[in-house]
Amino acid sequence: MARKTTQAVFPAPDHDHGRCASDAIAHAEQLCAARAQRLTPIRRRVLEALLSRHKPLGAYEIIARLRARGAAPAPITIYRALEFLRENGLVHRIESRNAFVACINNHASGDPVVFLLCERCGAVGEAGSAAIADTLKSAARAAGFTPKAPVIEIAGTCAHCRG
C-alpha cells in the first residue's frame, strides 16, 4: 500500500530549505506563466527574501534584506510587489504581526488559511483543514456573506520548541 505523504506544518529545523525555496520559486514561475503575468525581478527578489526563512517579515525587513544584496528599493516598490504576490496566492499577510510570509502550500485561492504562530522561535506554520474551511464557508453563506480571504491566526508553541 502506498503511503500518504503530507507536508509538515512546521518544517524540521534540518529540512532541505534550499529545495523548499526553489520549489516555491518554480511554482511561482509556473503560476505566473499560466496566468500570463510576470514574475518581475523585484517580485522574485521579494519572494526570495520571504522564502529565506519560515518566519514572517515586515516590508522594512524585506528592504533591509534586499539592501544587503545590493540597492534597496523604495517602500512603495516593496508594497506593490507584495500586493502582486498576495493577489496571486504566493504570499500571505500575518495581520497580528503586520508582516508577510511566503506561501509554500498549493491551496485554492479563497480557501481559509490557518496560521500557527510559534511565540518562541517565530516560525509560522500554515495548516489546512477541510473541516474548518467547510464550517467557515457554511457560516458565511448562512449570513449571506462572501468572505474575501478568511484567515485564522493561532499563537502558541511549535513542536520543535516544545521538545
Instruction: Give the model confidence (pLDDT) of 40-57 as tens digits.
Output: 999 999 999 999 888 899
CATH of the domain at 42: 1.10.10.10
pLDDT at 107: 62
Residue after which a domain boundary falls, among 54, 88, 103 = 103
Q: Are 47 and 90 in contact (CB under 8 A)?
A: yes
* Nine cell digits for residue 29: 514561475
Higher pLDDT, 73 or 127: 73
Is 111 found in the same domain as 93? no
pLDDT at 116: 92
Q: Are 48 and 115 in contact (CB under 8 A)?
A: no
* Nine cell digits for residue 2: 502506498
pLDDT at 7: 53
- Helix, strand, coil percentages (3-state) for the chain, rounded to 5, are 45, 15, 40
Instruction: Give the model confidence (pLDDT) of 80-95 as tens digits.
Output: 999 999 999 899 999 9
Residue 6 lies in a domain: no
Is 133 found in the same domain as 78? no
Which of 12-16, 21-25, 53-57, 94-98 has the lowest average pLDDT? 12-16
Structural domain including 54 reads 16-103
Which of 29-33, 39-43, 66-70, 104-108 has the lowest average pLDDT? 104-108
pLDDT at 2: 37
Is 97 found in the same domain as 124? no
